[in-house]
Amino acid sequence: MRCTASRWRSWRLSAIPQVRDPVLLIDSCAHPTCDGQWIGGRAGVNHDELAINLQRSGYTGALAVGLPGVGSYDHREFLAKCASHPNLVPVAALTRSDTLVAAARDLNHIAALGFRIVKVHPRLLGYEQTLEMLPGIFDACIERDLAMALCTYPEYRSSIGPDDARGLMAQAIVDRPSGQFLAMHAGVLDPDPFAVAAAANPGVLLDFSLSLLKYPDEVMDPALRITAFQPRAACLGSDGPEWTYDQVAKTLVAVRRRAGDAAASALGGQNLARWLHELGIHIGCVAESRLGGTGLGHPEVPVVRKWPLDVRHPSITQDAGGLIE
């Protein structure tokens, strides 16, 4: 018998233990590739597959984050593939950091194509040289009105130790209060330097993809502390295809049980939606939020019907029966 999308979705979601209240879900760190191949030649997902996975898993949308040299990445092709799916927000990959001149030329191309966000990935670009040039790269992004998604995962084989690397990255963010930054993976095992940056600049958002999924025992307490004292400063992405939406859902369950519905909602998508709204990107806007009120459950965020309104938002419940809509 042919398995319809609705039957498939019902089976998938009922198998996931969930939190109690409706949560707006937006993935801050998804990695579709132009050819569907992932790092090391492993199977990944292409843009079509990601869009389907998001809809089936109850997500309103995702940042589709390009990576330099991965999956036949090309600025123009990546953007075109995202354009076919209104629930994908394209994030360009910086592909040059050998010199500031080369990086600036690459950023000129990225900005001219219409990207609003650029991923800076030191480990894939050349770790130490990229960290050295990070202030100049950030300045060039700000000059071109580009928000920055910085991979904060340390290179443990570098002569620059992890703590020093986090400090360099965070300081470069703090020194640029006019920039909008997404600290991808939130420093992994130590988010505190980036929490300081977020306290200084409301345009800084810590993404706990990978870190909270891979190291829950080490990262959960710092993540919840940051969410408690800086309610708008954190979000949770999948780092897909490394992690699945089932795994993210289980992490949100743990967040809800420890810190309540507000923390789960903030991490699940509300904070990212607000951050994107500041860039003029309106995702997750619905006619009447199931989180209460209009827009995103926050009166200061207006309803903008640019993105699809037919994506179903999951009701996440504590019941053993799973998701109840």
For residue 93, what are its two tokens?
């990959």
Full-model pTM: 0.81
Q: Is the pLDDT of residue 289 over 90?
A: no
Q: How many domains does the chain have?
A: 1
The values of phi and psi at residue 222, to 5°, are: -60, -40
Within 10 angstroms of residue 278's Cβ, the number of other Cβ atoms is 12
The reply to whether 145 falls in a domain is: yes
Are the CB atoms for 283 and 89 separated by under 8 Å? yes
The reply to whether 311 falls in a domain is: no
We report the CATH number of the domain holding residue 218 as 3.20.20.140
Q: What is the separation, in whole angstroms, between the first and last Cα of the chain?
A: 25
Edge-first strand listing for the sheet containing 117-120: 26-30, 61-65, 88-93, 117-120, 147-151, 181-184, 204-207, 234-235
Query: What pLDDT does residue 108 have?
Result: 97
State the average pLDDT over residues 122-127: 92
The reply to whether 252 falls in a domain is: yes
Q: Is the pLDDT of residue 226 over 70?
A: yes
Q: Is the pLDDT of residue 323 over 70?
A: no
The reply to whether 292 falls in a domain is: no
- Interstrand relation of 88-93 and 117-120 (parallel, antiparallel or unpaired): parallel
State the average pLDDT over residues 90-102: 95
pLDDT tens digits for range 236-258: 999 999 999 999 999 999 999 99
Instruction: List Cα–Cα distances, 170 to 113, 161, 164, 191, 261, in angstroms.
Output: 28, 14, 10, 10, 29
214 pLDDT tier (thresholds 50, 70, 90): very high
The reply to whether 34 falls in a domain is: yes
The reply to whether 286 falls in a domain is: no
The reply to whether 29 falls in a domain is: yes
